[in-house]
Structure 1
Amino acid sequence: MQQSTSWRVTAPLRWASRCLQRVVGGAPLPQVEERGDYADWVERYDMIDPAATDRRRREIDASPKRQRLLLLPAGELSAGTLDAQLYKEWTQRPAGSLPEGFNAAASADWVIWIEPGCTLPSHALWVIAQQSTAHPEARLIYADEDELDANGRRINPFFKPDWNPDLFLSRNLFASWVAIEAHLFDESGGVRAELPPPEQGYDLALRCVERVRSEQIRHIPHVLAHRRASEVEFGGRPGGVAVLNAHFARTTTAARAEATQFGYRTRYALPSSPPLVSLIIPTRNALPLVRQCIESIVLETDYPNYEILLVDNGSDDPEALAYFAALNAQQGITVIRDERAFNYSALNNAAVARAQGELVALLNNDIEVISPGWLAEMVSIALQPGVGAVGAKLLYPDTTVQHGGVILGVGGIAGHAHKHLARSDPGHGRRAQLAQSFSAVTAACLVVRKALYEQVGGLDEEHLTVAFNDIDFCLRLREAGYRNVWTPEAELFHHESATRVSDFSGPALQRFLREEQFMRGRWGALLQADPAYNPNLSLAAEDFSYAWPPRTPWLPPST
């Protein structure tokens, strides 16, 4: 930790590990076929051949259980899209024509609301019926989607994550269609015909989500809808703000929605007396970085109630020591001298034990505050029921993205989402600009309630002294039933070099490989199937590029 904390220390080791995985017996990286554009990907992995079509027809005919589907188009669909369906056990009614007191469950097992102009591939209804039968616990179903350009070519896929409640508040994951178990449709009150289609579908999905558990929402990682590119709206709408605020009122959530150019932002209210937050910053020497970090916090942060705990891990630079002594004399700043051998997990755990705050914020010493509301934003989310750790949008000094959440499995154990993306770029599915859940976030800037930190045992100082301790910590929070949230509204600079010198020693590499192996042993298959990612996206890059091939069969197996 000569200039920052664990992520920088282990950067060259992570690179070396990827090169040595086969030598040391770790899991190899996925084999990547020759890449092309999305049209190539579709041709290779998402086209149904005549033989497969005939086989699916025979399977449908032989199926002992056929789900009755009621289709509710909110407007005109693409010509022929329903007639082309392999699955025929459906009826349809216009979404706005349902009589008062309509009982969907009397004549259907599932209701599917469909947005105007939508094109369904010929196998879409069959897959929905198959998945609802294979997963009887499901009450809501959604799938991936893409767009059709003016020439009918498929473009701009949105490969969605599994159920992600925070992303759902940022953009409607059920936008093209939503499949709803019929009793749930009736319980939710059905369609509000007076709303225009975008808000009609969002409102319906919100009211249904309020009545189900997360495990009852099923995501199908296949493209089962094509939207007209000319009709896809990028930003939020006043009507969307209204239905979100109605949702917050029904769920007694102290929050309000705002429309942005990328979707929606939820502003959670802070308590009238904002709780104390303990900012924990480990360092060894690194005076310029520490001064920049501390001064930016003090001068830029608008949150009114925090303390700073600077953990001095055996500094010996006289100028740094003099500066630390001056800091220690200031109100609200405490310097903790800890001379143990560098163990990032132990340093933070010891500081958390001394922290007075209701919440703790783990910070690297090379962080620089650039958005005054960063801490208020992160604290307001961390205080919400069910939330574990909260991460920030970290930028390199050139303003490209350094951290947009953590994706499990990328490069082996994990990687940073949308790394090196331009600051204002929307990213895949606009996810680089929208609050959402991730399986993990980096401890370079992480806020969590102190009680939760202690509940799951803090960072693992025995097995993960330097690498992956933040990822493991977040996964233990997730295992305990909490979700980890990333917000783009808390922006900070992370002065981690965009290019690094690969300087590592044998003992450091061996320690890193042991920690990597420990992560594989503890978290196993989860590292290859991150629910916040998608099997159609690559594990060989951090840019949400396509997987060649996908890590899921082209169609779900037959029942």
Structure 2
Amino acid sequence: MPPEPESISAAVVQPRVSAPSADIVILSYNSADYLPACIASVAALTSPPLPVIIVDNASRDNSVAVAREACDHSGLTADIIALDRNLGCAGGNNVGWHAGSAEFVIFLNPDTEVTPDFVTELLRPLQNDTTIGITGARIHYPGGYTLQHAGGFIYPNGMTGHFAAGEEDTGAPHQITPRDCDYVTGAGFAIRRSLLDQLNGFDEDYFPAYFEETDLCTRARRLGARIRYVPEARLIHHESVSLTVNSPAFHRLYQRMRIRYCLKNFTLRDWLRGFIPFEARWMLREPAARGHRLEQFRAYGEGLWWRITGKR
């Protein structure tokens, strides 16, 4: 049976032998409507108190004031860093993790709400298996019934997908079985600080957003680190605060960053045997692609311009 809507915040707590060392980084941009619930859920974590760093990416609303008020109301101690310009998701998150020093770093979107045992479960595989470099959560849409993400995969043309997306969470084996995957979404994941150091953090060329976490996971796998889906770590994600999913603006930005990701990470063999044939089929068969061909061709041109000039 799927969980009741309110049960997402009523998880059973399992005891730990030792407390993990982790920083929680919450990156905010025009997120005043979502921050109180996110901060309240972090304050309700059953793990020992952890350093919390809230980075505001030069919001145009009153996100900073709301964050301070929400922290005061919930009793959460947090460092709030108000940037004077928008550095994008990658740049803002880089500011956040550099401000901490813990062994692990947990990144959260501001429009998420975590379960009380979220940190304990998300960090458990990292503590128990040194071959795992990144762990990601089981993510629900608001209400807690429908799955949004159960690990991610990458198509040969760089398009990304989420296992079990849109499915009712029935506790089916493919929904609740831990597994290695291509990447995990940036809405809520943990990573070793040592790995972040090796990778030099997020690539800020993915500006303002999208594919920065996909690129991070791809580079981590290239170093031999495993990306692990952890179904016991759960959160609700309201998804896309600033852009409506499947809007022209979202599609244009997503495709631009996808081409950038492919140009950066694909080999010649990947392009010839994977990207080109898969992209051609996708452009011809997928209604979404047929409806946005102009944006798609523009993304090709912008990607090549970025690759040649380095200008984003």
Aligned partners of 1:276 and 1:307 also within 8 Å: no
Q: Which residue, out of 50, 58, 78, partners 1:306?
A: 50
Give how far 1:480 is off. Answer: 0.5
The structure, 1 or 2, with the larger RCO (C-alpha pairs under 8 Å, 6+ apart) is 2
Matches within 5 A, 1:498-537: 500=244, 502-505=246-249, 512-524=254-266
- Say yes or no: does 1:385 pair with 2:139: no
The Cα offsets for residues 387-429 of structure 1, whole Å up to 9 and x where unpaired, read as 1110000001242110111111188521111101111152xxx
- Say yes or no: does 1:454 pair with 2:197: yes
Number of residue pairs matched? Answer: 256
Match of 1:45 in 2: none
Structure 2: which 5+ residue stretches go unaligned?
Answer: 1-13, 275-281, 287-312
Q: RMSD over aligned Cα, in angstroms?
A: 3.0
Give how far 1:284 is off. Answer: 2.2
* Amino acid aligned to 2:51: E
SS in 1 for 2:52: strand
Match of 1:360 in 2: 105
1 CA distance for matches of 2:149 and 2:133?
18
Give how far 1:475 is off. Answer: 0.9
1 CA distance for matches of 2:110 and 2:146?
19
* Amino acid aligned to 1:302: T
2 CA distance for matches of 1:519 and 1:287?
31
Aligned partners of 1:404 and 1:416 also within 8 Å: yes
The Cα offsets for residues 258-309 of structure 1, whole Å up to 9 and x where unpaired, read as xxxxxxxxxx99552x13211111112322311000001112x211141211
Aligned partners of 1:275 and 1:305 also within 8 Å: no
* Amino acid aligned to 1:417: F
Larger radius of gyration: 1
- Say yes or no: does 1:474 pair with 2:217: yes
1 CA distance for matches of 2:247 and 2:104?
36
Give how far 1:359 is off. Answer: 0.9
Aligned partners of 1:283 and 1:365 also within 8 Å: yes
SS in 1 for 2:221: helix
Match of 1:416 in 2: 162
Structure 1: which 5+ residue stretches go unaligned?
Answer: 1-267, 530-538, 542-559
2 CA distance for matches of 1:394 and 1:331?
23
2 CA distance for matches of 1:372 and 1:526?
42
1 CA distance for matches of 2:270 and 2:184?
15
Match of 2:233 in 1: 490
* Amino acid aligned to 2:97: V
- Say yes or no: does 1:337 pair with 2:85: no
Match of 2:33 in 1: 288
Higher helix share: 2
1 CA distance for matches of 2:158 and 2:196?
26
Aligned partners of 1:328 and 1:335 also within 8 Å: no
Seen in structure 2, the aligned counterparts of structure 1 residues 469 and 445 have a Cα distance that, compared at 3 Å, is same
2 CA distance for matches of 1:278 and 1:346?
17
SS in 2 for 1:487: strand
Give how far 1:339 is off. Answer: 2.3
Give how far 1:463 is off. Answer: 4.3
Match of 1:277 in 2: 22
Matches within 5 A, 1:205-220: none
Aligned partners of 1:348 and 1:459 also within 8 Å: yes
Aligned partners of 2:183 and 2:217 also within 8 Å: yes
Match of 1:136 in 2: none
* Amino acid aligned to 1:519: Y
Aligned partners of 2:36 and 2:70 also within 8 Å: no
SS in 1 for 2:224: coil
2 CA distance for matches of 1:403 and 1:510?
22
The Cα offsets for residues 199-219 of structure 1, whole Å up to 9 and x where unpaired, read as xxxxxxxxxxxxxxxxxxxxx
2 CA distance for matches of 1:326 and 1:353?
25
1 CA distance for matches of 2:192 and 2:76?
23
Give how far 1:471 is off. Answer: 0.7
Identity of aligned residues (%): 25
SS in 1 for 2:34: helix
Match of 2:96 in 1: 351
The Cα offsets for residues 219-255 of structure 1, whole Å up to 9 and x where unpaired, read as xxxxxxxxxxxxxxxxxxxxxxxxxxxxxxxxxxxxx
State TM-score, norm by structure 2: 0.73
SS in 2 for 1:288: coil
Q: Which residue, out of 100, 107, 120, partners 1:376?
A: 120
Match of 1:171 in 2: none
State TM-score, norm by structure 1: 0.42
SS in 2 for 1:462: coil
1 CA distance for matches of 2:244 and 2:67?
28
